[in-house]
Amino acid sequence: MEKIFLPRVNDLHFHGRSGQVLKDILPFTSEVCSHALFMPNIAGNEIVNARRVEEYRAEILKVCNPLFSSCEPLMTIMITPKTTPPTIEAAYNAGAVAAKIYPRGGTTNSENGIDDWDSHQLMAVLEKMEELGMVLCVHGELVYGAPEKIEVYGQYLGVLNEIEPSKREIRFCPIISKWCQLFPQLRIVFEHITTHAAVSLVFSLPKTVSATITVHHLLVTEVDVMGSHLNPHLFCKPTVKGYADMAALRAAAFSGNPKFFLGTDSAVHTKSRKEECGCAGVFSAPVFVEALIELFTEFGQLDKLPDFISNFGADFYDLPRASQTISYRREPSLVPGRIKESYVPFMAGKTLAWRRDE
C-alpha cells in the first residue's frame, strides 16, 4: 500500500498555548484536525471562568479562522479549589464542552490544581457537570498521599507524603472508580494513561468512562528518556513507563474498543526551557499522524487507526464524525531537528516512512 486516506483527526487533548507560541504551533494541528480540545492551564492566565473561555476562543479563532480552516476549537475550563457550580454552568453556557482537573503541583501550571479529592465543593461541581452533560477530563495522578514515616535500614528519613511519580497514576485509579459510582451519568476521560492498571480499569468501568492515549506513550519507554543519557525532549507528565505498560497501551489502542482514543497531549516548550529546567511536555503535533500510521502498519492494525484517531473520540464527545479525509503516501520524511528555531519536535532527526500529501 503506497497511499492511504484517513479522516481528519479529533485531537482531544492539545496544549495550544497563547500569544506568539499559539501562532507558531497551531497550524500543525489545524491542518490535520477536525476538532482540537484546548487545555486550560495557560501560564499565568488559566481558563478558570466564562470570560476566559470566551477570550481564549477568540484568540484561537484569530489564528485558526473558521473561514479558512476545517478545525474547530473545543474549549475547556480548569477546575480549581475556588470553582463553584455556577462557575461551571457559566463556562458551559460560554461554550466550554469539558472541565479539566489537574492534581496540584503534578504537572505544568498546576499550582492551582486540586488536592482535596473529597471536598463538598468539588462534589457539587461534579454533580453540576453531570447535570449539564459536560465531560470531565482528569490528569489522573495522585501527587500527595497520607503522610508516612519513612525508615530504611533503621535510618529515619522523615515524614513524607509526596508519592513517587511512577506510582501516581496507579494510586489515582480508585478515585476514578469512586467518581464513576457517585456520578453514574458523568462522562469521564482518564487522560493520557500510561499504565497497565489504568488500561484494565477503563476496560472494567461503564461506557461513561474513556481514556486518551498519546502517541509518545505508544512509542517511548523510560529507557528512551533516561537510558544511556537523559533526553529532556521526551520528559513528560505522566512520565513514560516500561515495556509492559507500553504493550498494554498498544493493546488498548489496537483493540477497537471505543473507550480508547487519541489525545496527543502535544505540549510545546522552547528548546532552552526543555534543556535548562526540564519542563514536562512532548511536542508531537508536527508528526503524530505519520508516526501512528507507521506504528499501526507495523502491527497490521491500520484498519483500526481511523476509529482511534477520529471516530471514537467524536462519538464520546457527541461531535459529528469527520467528513473530510487527508491522504498520506509512503515516502521517507526526515523530521527536522528544530521548528522555527525554538521548538524541538517529537522524533527530531528521525526518518518516518510516511508523509502527508500537500
Is residue 303 among the annotated active site residues?
no
Q: Which residues contact 246 (CB under 8 A, 6 or more apart)?
A: 217, 218, 219, 220, 221, 240
| Phi, then psi, of 281 in degrees rounded to 5 | 150, 140
Distance CA 292, CA 336 (A): 18
Q: Are 143 and 163 in contact (CB under 8 A)?
A: yes
Q: Which three cell numbers stand for residue 80?
A: 480549581
User: Per the omega criterion (within 30 degrees of 0), is the bond before 86 cis?
Assistant: no
218, HSE (Cβ side, Cα atoms, 13 Å): 27
Do 107 and 239 contact (CB within 8 A), yes or no? no
Q: What letter does residue 133 receive in the DSSP assignment?
A: T
SS3 (DSSP) at 300: coil
Q: How far apart are the first and last CA of the chain?
A: 19
Which string of DSSP letters, residue by residue, matches 85-128? HHHHHHHHHTTEEEEEE-BTTSSTT-TT-B--TT-HHHHHHHHH
Which of 295, 81, 45, 327 has the alpha carbon at shortest distance from 16? 45
Angle at 33 between CA 212 and CA 341, to 5 degrees: 95
Q: In the 8-state DSSP scheme, what is residue 322?
A: P
**Cα–Cα distance, 118 to 95 (Å, whole number):** 27
Q: Which member of 265, 303, 307, 315 is catalytic?
A: 265
Question: Would you mind telling me the total number of residues written for the chain in this entry?
Answer: 358
* Catalytic annotation, residues: 265
